[in-house]
């Protein structure tokens, strides 16, 4: 993540969750639940949540009914992690979540460390996506699973036209009203508009070495979950 993007997230960190809830009508919470379901978690799994931000995906992961799992959240931005740590401080006892600051392009973990790697709304912000996926595969155990939740463009042309009006004009304005940072939500709009298509992201994941790659469109295609596995050999 470049320094300009890092600064944008620093500026909106304290209101990030509120803004997401307002802009998506809390649908992003449903998207995360579907993402967790596709993780196919098993007892004793070790999960790495990349670009964990304020910890929303970490919370969803640890609140499953799967026993004895552990979640490590990693993010580049210290202010987002401060918000996540404050949430953890409000939980009683050990919640099984460990948060660390780090770089997705140089993960501070040994090879074959995790059973599942998740990344929600983060890969779009990474310039060197091939390097990121290479690092993800390195720290995954053979047979391990990658789940990537990301914003995308609607599938149907008519819906895409209507949604574009909201996304291009309403979203930046509402984001600014809540966060007082106009640049952050113009960046969000532009980063989604210039992001690769769902088939292109699937191809990137396959080219990175993942197998059984596919994706699921959500809410008419305004978000999607991409997934695949590291080969067992």
* CA–CA gap between residue 118 and residue 99 (Å, rounded): 14
Q: Give the CATH fold of the 3-155+197-229 domain.
A: Rossmann fold (3.40.50)
Residue 203: Cβ within 10 Å count: 13
The residues near 17 (Cβ < 8 Å, ≥ 6 apart) are 54, 56, 83
- Looking at residue 23, what is its pLDDT? 74
Mean pLDDT, rounded, for 7-28: 83
Mean pLDDT, rounded, for 69-96: 87
**165-195: burial string, b at 16+ Cβ within 10 Å, e else:** eebeeebbeebbebbebebbbbbbbeebeeb
Q: Containing H/E element for 184?
A: helix 182-193
161 half-sphere exposure, CB direction, 13 A CA radius: 2
Q: Where are the domains of the chain?
A: 3-155+197-229
Residue 32 — pLDDT band, cuts 50, 70, 90? very high
In this predicted model, which residue has the larger pLDDT, 131 or 89?
131
Give the pLDDT confidence of 166-220 residue by residue, as tens digits: 777 677 677 667 666 767 767 777 878 889 999 999 999 999 999 999 999 999 9
Structure tokens at 209: 């070495």
In this predicted model, which residue has the larger pLDDT, 16 or 45?
45
Mean pLDDT, rounded, for 91-109: 87
- Looking at residue 186, what is its pLDDT? 74
Q: Containing H/E element for 209?
A: none
Average pLDDT, the chain: 89
pTM (predicted TM-score): 0.91
Highest mean pLDDT, choosing among 14-28, 43-57, 94-108: 43-57
The bridge status of strand 46-50 relative to strand 70-75 is parallel
């Amino acid at each position: 993540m470049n320094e300009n993007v890092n600064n944008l997230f620093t500026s909106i960190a304290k209101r990030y969750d509120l803004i997401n809830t307002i802009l998506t009508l809390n649908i992003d919470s449903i998207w995360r639940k579907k993402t967790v379901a596709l993780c196919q978690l098993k007892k004793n799994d070790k999960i790495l949540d990349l670009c964990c931000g304020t910890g929303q995906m970490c919370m969803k992961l640890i609140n499953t009914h799967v026993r004895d799992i552990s979640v490590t959240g990693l993010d580049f931005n210290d202010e987002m992690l401060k918000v996540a740590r404050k949430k953890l401080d409000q939980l009683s006892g050990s919640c099984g979540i460990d948060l660390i600051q780090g770089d997705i392009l140089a993960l501070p973990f040994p090879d074959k460390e995790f059973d599942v790697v998740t990344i929600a709304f983060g890969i779009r912000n990474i310039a060197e996506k091939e390097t990121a996926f290479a690092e993800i595969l390195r720290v995954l155990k053979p047979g391990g699973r990658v789940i990537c939740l990301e914003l995308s463009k609607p599938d149907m042309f008519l819906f895409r036209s209507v949604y574009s009006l909201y996304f291009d004009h309403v979203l930046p304005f509402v984001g600014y009203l809540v966060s007082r940072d106009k640049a952050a939500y113009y960046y969000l709009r532009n980063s989604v508009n210039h992001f690769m298509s769902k088939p292109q992201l699937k191809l990137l994941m396959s080219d990175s070495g993942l197998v059984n790659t596919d994706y699921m469109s959500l809410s008419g295609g305004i978000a999607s979950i991409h997934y695949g596995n590291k080969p067992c050999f």
